[in-house]
Amino acid sequence: MDDRIMKVNLKVWRQENAKAKGHFVTYSDVETTPDTSFLETLDILNEKLVEKGEEPIAFDHDCREGICGMCSLYINGHPHGPAIGATTCQLYMRRFKDGELITVEPWRSAAFPVIKDLIVNRNAFDQIQQAGGYVSFNCGGAQDANDLPIAKVEADAAMDSASCIGCGACVAACKNSSAMLFVSAKVTQFSHLPQGQVETARRVKAMVKKMDELGFGNCTNTGACAAECPKLIPLANIGRMNRLFIAAKIKD
């Protein structure tokens, strides 16, 4: 374990509330260690701020195991920081140099308004899932899932898409704040399985419509979303969703 003391300078976005004008505040010589996580470093800074009688930095977190997707911070120009395939809570200070200036911001998207400091409202993703991200059936009449033969390649593809944690890194990475990677993952995870294929057309139309209503931008085709995704959701999902959407509209 590397418990050497290192110091970093944190340039953090502070914003009192959604209506207030935000600004950056630099906190110098924050002590941490290479094996300390980024969120734990923010905890250390907050303890010092509380001791001084200052307002601690508000940031989202829950499981701290890379599962919940709440630790959504924009660090040095990257969603979740410089680590590939990792969330902010899985980012360790050994990724940074001693004395480095680290810029920390919230997601920047009209669909994700800032609540306070580094916390944004990601309810838009919940609304998209509610619009169609589920499988409906008549209770008591459904066939046992284990009785449905599913090819391993299809099951694996569905699970790869289902690994999306809805953190919003794809939106933060896209210059148009597009949610296409997130929506395509939720559409794809069902479209690979027989239980979800019955409602594929309704689902893809409803979720795309809700995405557009909530103000997310169009896909830029640059692939930044997939490059920054902590769960490495493949870009091919967007192509699959587009094909399903076009087929559904043609059928109409």
pLDDT the model gives residue 238: 97
Give residue 147's pLDDT band: very low, low, confident or very high (50, 70, 90): confident
pLDDT the model gives residue 70: 95
- Residue keyed to tokens 């890194």: 169
- Residue keyed to tokens 């459904």: 142
pLDDT the model gives residue 178: 97
- Detail the DSSP E strand segments found in the chain: 6-14, 23-32, 74-75, 78-79, 101-105, 114-116, 119-120
Report pLDDT digits (tens) over 195-223: 889 999 999 999 999 999 999 999 999 99
pLDDT the model gives residue 37: 97
Residue 144 scores a pLDDT above 80:
no
* Percent share of the chain, pLDDT over 70: 97
Residue 252 scores a pLDDT above 90:
no
Q: What is the mean pLDDT of the chain?
A: 94
Give residue 194's pLDDT band: very low, low, confident or very high (50, 70, 90): confident
Is the overall model pTM greater than 0.85, yes or no?
yes
Degrees to nearest 5, angle at CA 236 with 82 and 151: 115
Report pLDDT digits (tens) over 220-248: 999 999 999 999 999 999 999 999 999 99
pLDDT the model gives residue 143: 66
Mean pLDDT on 72-83: 96
Mean pLDDT on 61-89: 95
Nearest-angstrom CA–CA distance, 139 and 177: 39
Nearest-angstrom CA–CA distance, 62 and 79: 17
Mean pLDDT on 42-61: 97
